[in-house]
Amino acid sequence: MNVNNTKNDGPPLPEREQPGEDDPSGRRLRKMLGQFATGVAVITTCEDNGRLVGVTCNSFTSVSLDPPLILWSVANTSSSGPAFSKGKAFAVNILAATQEDLALRFARSGEDKFDGTTWEQGLGGSPLLEGCVAYIECRVDDRYPGGDHAIILGAVERFVNLERDPLLFHSGEFRRFTQP
């Protein structure tokens, strides 16, 4: 076995803190977690009564290739959360660098999130917003409790990849790749 452990001779890591300790509002925990750079998606669905639902999300991640599964998590306080019930169709709209306005629009509560947007119907009527990088049409495989969020596991049924430049999110700010 090739073991190649190197002792760090430089200064040690700063003192670690425990969640909650001297950080009751979770501000420092949230700030630290925000160092993990992500893309941004709008997750959409269409309720049985035809009402359209959309939520800006950066908790999206891939889970499994075989079977194809993805997940995202929705806050228990989100008015959109209950729409993503087991078996329900939904779409992941991966936002392009030019779509910061959509990211902001779908991060606000309200009945008018889709006003003035252009979209076409995906599986189950889930809106596919114009101009995105990629679209993943899914069905809710299951929902799991995850503290103050619910984890939505989605089975991928269809996808299309337009390979545009993505919108990024890091340290609480929208970013985009710059060419060297």
Ligand X SMILES: Cc1cc2nc3c(=O)[nH]c(=O)nc-3n(C[C@H](O)[C@H](O)[C@H](O)COP(=O)(O)O)c2cc1C
By the criterion CB under 6 A, which residues form the site for ligand X?
40, 55-59, 72-75, 78-80, 103, 106-107, 109, 169
Cβ atoms 118, 99 nearer than 8 A = no
- Of 103 and 133, CB closest to ligand X: 103
- Of 12 and 172, CB closest to ligand X: 172
Instruction: Give the start-end residues of each E strand in 47-176.
Output: 52-57, 61-65, 68-75, 89-94, 119-121, 127-129, 134-146, 149-161, 168-170, 173-175
* Closest approach of ligand X to the CB of residue 108, in Å: 6
C-alpha to C-alpha distance for 50 and 67, rounded to whole angstroms: 30
**Cα angle 64, 58, 134; round to 5:** 65
* Closest approach of ligand X to the CB of residue 48, in Å: 18
- Of 17 and 142, CB closest to ligand X: 142
Give me the sign of the Cα torsion angle 43, 56, 119, 116. positive
- Of 43 and 89, CB closest to ligand X: 43
* Closest approach of ligand X to the CB of residue 105, in Å: 9
* Closest approach of ligand X to the CB of residue 130, in Å: 19
